[in-house]
Amino acid sequence: MKLLRSTSGRAASWTMIGFGASYAIRLLSTLALTRLLEPGVFGLMSLAWVFLGALTMLSDVGTVPSVIRSHRGDDPDFLDTAWSVQAVRGFCLAGLVLLLAWPVSRLYEEPRLFPILCAVAVMPALQGLSSISLATCRRHVRLGALTAMGLAGQILTTVVNILFAWWLQSVWALVLGSIIGVLFGLVASYLWLPPHRPRLRFHRDAMAEIVTFGRWVLLATLFSYFGGQGSTAIMGFEVPVETLGLITIATTIAFALSDLVLRILGQVAFPTLSRAFREGRDFASAVDRIKRLIFLFVLPCLIALSFLSQEIIDLLYDPRYALAGSFLTLFALNAALAMLSMPYQNAMLAAGNSRAHAIVMGTAAASTVILMLAGMQVHGIYGMIFGMGLGSGLLPLLVSAWFAKRHGILRWHYDAVTATGVLALYAYMLGTLPPV
């Protein structure tokens, strides 16, 4: 147990260092690009990423989580099979993007989307060929090399984005920068990480294990898209592309802290809990520690962000982006609600209960879409954001709590106090925001 805590502590430190540096780079990039490009560019790219993300999530069979949690996660046959599945999936995704690029551009009545989607189609193919060492490093919670490689790729992408934005003054700056960043990640995964020379093979037992665990991961990822990125796709029909660009900026800032929590849970807690489960250890106390840290440190920061949102936007961006401050006020509270079920979901995946995870994400997807559309009809854009918060945070928490109780890891006092406080604050904020 002491070894697990030591390993988790080092991994958490690397995760926080990587996240802090990554977010600083992202913020500097956003500040530079918003001065070189129009708001509509970010809305247009949001639609492209939503479509690419949809296909990516619709084909996610959970190869990385399978490597992390499986007893055979270090077996060469298992690793080669996982890499082969990943590679074939990447090329299939690239073909689908090319086939659907024109219909999607017509659907959104944005002809500029067609060439953009054709260009970004190369990205899933490149990502599919990346080394399976990306998964094995996460399995053994060796995050130093992963963090350094990720930051190097992000710095390169940012520099290229800014140079192309200065030169081209168009959305193609973001497209070319993203492709170059993915290409760097592919090469670095073989040169930077522990070597593993993959072979194209589909070992029967390994395939059976990946498919058995991954079928529920696939369903959960599908639901995650409809409840997350799918909401952006719906907003593409409900709001102008310029407003969508402002919402994108607000969500980037609002979910920064919850992204850190997600990264720690995914890169530290999940592998550690998986190892504890394989070795027959109890991880209920770990869930309690995670809940306590979120309650005492993360949630107060998100509440402060909600109150200071307009000042932050006015400080960082020019007047064209002022409306993003009102959106940020509400998205910060959405982030607070969304984090409450995260520890439960990681614990259930570590125990191999991917079915429960899929049910939670299905609840989130259905309720988010229904409530955001209902909120749009009742209270416009603010009502839509509030509906997203209820659908992606509160209702999934109730379902997660039910499964958590069955696993003996429910910590209801943290959940009840936080949910009540955030909803009361939401009611106050909705009454103070200026009309859109």
Q: Which of 189, 215, 241 is the last residue of a domain?
A: 215
Residue 223 placed within a domain: no
Whether 146 and 283 map to the same domain: the answer is no
Whether 66 and 209 map to the same domain: the answer is yes
Whether 200 and 255 map to the same domain: the answer is no
Whether 210 and 265 map to the same domain: the answer is no
In angstroms, the CA 118 to CA 404 distance is: 43
Q: Which of 147, 181, 215 is the last residue of a domain?
A: 215
Whether 208 and 233 map to the same domain: the answer is no
Whether 119 and 157 map to the same domain: the answer is yes
Residue 352 placed within a domain: yes
pLDDT of residue 36: 83
Q: Which of 184, 215, 246 is the last residue of a domain?
A: 215
Residue 222 placed within a domain: no
Range of the domain at 170: 1-215
Residue 221 placed within a domain: no
pLDDT of residue 2: 45
pLDDT of residue 363: 83
Whether 250 and 157 map to the same domain: the answer is no
Residue 344 placed within a domain: yes
Whether 259 and 186 map to the same domain: the answer is no
Residue 220 placed within a domain: no
Residue 159 placed within a domain: yes
Q: Which residues of the chain have pLDDT under 50?
A: 1-4, 6
Whether 49 and 196 map to the same domain: the answer is yes
Whether 121 and 30 map to the same domain: the answer is yes
Whether 417 and 268 map to the same domain: the answer is yes
Residue 266 placed within a domain: yes
Q: What is the pTM of this model?
A: 0.61
The residues near 360 (Cβ < 8 Å, ≥ 6 apart) are: 220, 341, 344, 345, 396, 399, 400, 403
Counting the structural domains of the chain, the total is 2
Whether 279 and 304 map to the same domain: the answer is yes
